[in-house]
Amino acid sequence: MKIGIIPRRARGAGLRTSDRTVMAIAVGYALLGALWILFSDRAVEAMFGDPASLMQASRYKGWFFIAFTAVLLYVMLMRLVRRNERLQQERYRSLELLNAVADSSEDAIFAKDVDGRYILFNRAASEFVGRPVEDVLGKDDRHLFPPEQAEHLMAIGRRVLQAGNLETNEEVLETRQGRRVFLATKGPLRDAQGRVFGIFGTSRDITARKRVEDALHDREHQLRAIIGYSPSVLSLKRPDGRYAVANPNLQRIHHTTEADIVGKTDFDLYPEDVARAIAANDQLVLQTGARHSIEEILPVDGQMRTFMSHMFPVADNAGRIAYICRISLDITDAKRDRDMLARTAEDLAATLQAIPDLMFELDQNGRYLSVRTSQENLLALPAGQCVGRNVHDVLPREAADAVMASLAQAARSGSDYGRAIAIPLEAGTRWFELSVARKAGKPGDPARFLVLSRDITDRKAALDALRRQADDMVCRNTELERFNRVMIGRELDMIELKRQINALSRELGREPPHPARHVDAAVRRATEKPA
């Protein structure tokens, strides 16, 4: 592909003489003409006294002056033209050499004249703008780019021409491939005499590199944010044990700044025994090249605190360990809570072990999730065989239905108590009382239930015996009431007989043998119900 050189119309502009040379010729011609007129007229007047001869001599003098000055101007102008042609040829030889070099470059290479018009445009530049070279040469940036970008580029060109220095800038341009980022270097074009006759430039597409740099910058920013906001104590140390990075939490522990920590070792920050233990852990990472997690006891504000430290190596591009990264989390309170929970769990396990009841965890479909008991002889199946099965697979139908009904009630009201089920076991049928409670959970989680099954076989037998005794007593009381009613009837008959005897005695004029008060008292006793 032919790389551009200025077209002929642009080349003619380069053949103009400089203002200084033109001015010198004009001044020289004016001076020569003035001297010729002054001295030639005096010489002619001195040589010819006859007016006709004087007129003729003046005419010849004028024609001689015209011929002489014409020859002189021709010689001077030819010398100027030849010199300009040599300079222009030197310039174009330089441009042609630049063309040959530019054509093999992947970077955009270009040159402009002093008016900002392109006089060289290489293949890569043509591909970037999506224009043929012939369409670019002799035109300025307004022909290639949007107005704002074009004005910016032309302003840079004017600045380079005025300063006469190299200038490197990042430029964002609209190209055929879309918006691209270029690293552009521009400088003045000089001829053999050092005169500036334009500017040259190279532009390298660094869009991909900028994306990588931006991504790295973003990643670094994110990493710094993570380090800054991490709840852990985070640091980077070189293999010699000197700190390279110390996050705010590490700074707060030592009540200082990162600048005061970087470059120091643990022996500068901690007591010797603590620093020696930390250094030993660092050496473990350096020797193995692997990740390690170790509990460390460190002094913080006069108190010894427990930290869980996670340490791992950070390698450089050559695969050598460049840093040891340490992420430490204060677990003092968590460890105390953990120990307390462990003791609580032990107490709970002991308590559950001491409870004689059977304990189950079931889902809403009646599937066993866990079984806990110290009396496996009271289970219909071994505990391990119950988990994962449904109550209908383990219990008799009536007992399973009762369990499901209790689960349904607990799902509605939160709990259910008092249902009794019978389970046939090897030792005989045993009776159990159910207590069901719904476990608390997050909204939307499947319902789970805790079921306590208490063996009430002995209690039920005792209650059955008491019921039988009560039934016997009811029967006896009924018999007693019947006997009492017979005895009362007889007594009432005797009282009526006594009344008749008293009435007969009064008819016979005798004293009644049974006083009336005694008869009334006997009536009251006979008619009153026993307490």
Instruction: Tell whether the model's pLDDT for residue 459 goes beyond 70.
Output: yes
What are the φ/ψ torsions at residue 303 (nearest 5 degrees)?
-120, 145
Which residue, 209, 184, 214, 218, is CA-closest to 199?
184
State which fold the 230-336 domain adopts. Answer: Beta-Lactamase (3.30.450)
Residue-wise pLDDT tens digits, 327-348:
999 888 888 888 887 777 676 6
Inter-axis angle of helices 19-47 and 51-103, to 10 degrees? 160
| Three-state SS at 180 | strand
pLDDT of res. 521: 67
Q: How far is 179 from 201, CA to CA, in rounded Å?
A: 19
- 241 torsion bin: left (phi>0), alpha (psi -120 to 50), beta (else): left
Q: Is the pLDDT of residue 48 over 50?
A: yes
The H-or-E segment that residue 402 falls in is: helix 397-413
Percent of the chain exceeding pLDDT 70 equals 81
Mean pLDDT, residues 206-228: 79
Q: Going by C-beta distance under 8 Å and a sequence separation of 6 or more, which residues neighbour residue 463?
A: none
Going by C-alpha positions, the residue among 243, 246, 279 that lies closest to residue 263 is: 243
* CA nearest to 195, candidates 90, 79, 80: 90
Q: Where exactly are the structural domains of the chain?
A: 1-205, 230-336, 355-455, 466-527
**Nearest partner of 298 among 289, 307, 290, judged by Cα:** 307
pLDDT band at 10 (very low <50, low <70, confident <90, very high): very low
Q: What is the mean pLDDT of residues 244-266?
A: 91
Where does 206-320 show beta strands of DSSP type E? 233-237, 243-246, 292-300, 303-315
Cα-Cα-Cα-Cα torsion 135, 138, 141, 144, nearest 10 degrees, comes to -10
- Rounded to the nearest 10 degrees, the angle between the axes of helix 457-507 and helix 516-527 is 160
152-193 pLDDT, tens per residue?
999 999 999 988 888 888 888 888 778 888 899 999 988 777
Please indicate whether residue 367 or residue 476 has the higher confidence score (pLDDT): 367
Query: Mean pLDDT over residues 19-31, rounded?
Result: 71
Is the domain defined by 1-205 classed in CATH 3.30.450.20?
A: yes
> CB of 359 within 8 A of CB of 371?
yes
Instruction: Tell me the range of 313-317, 440-444, 498-502 where mean pLDDT is highest.
Output: 313-317
Give residue 273's pLDDT: 93
Side-chain-side CA neighbours of 349 within 13 Å: the count stands at 6
pLDDT band of 8, cuts 50, 70, 90: very low
Average pLDDT, the chain: 81
The answer, as to whether pTM is greater than 0.75, is no
3-state secondary structure of 90: helix
Residue 136 tokens, joined = 């670019």
Question: What end-to-end distance do the CA atoms of the chain give, in Å?
Answer: 134
- Decide yes or no: CATH 3.30.450.20 for domain 355-455: yes
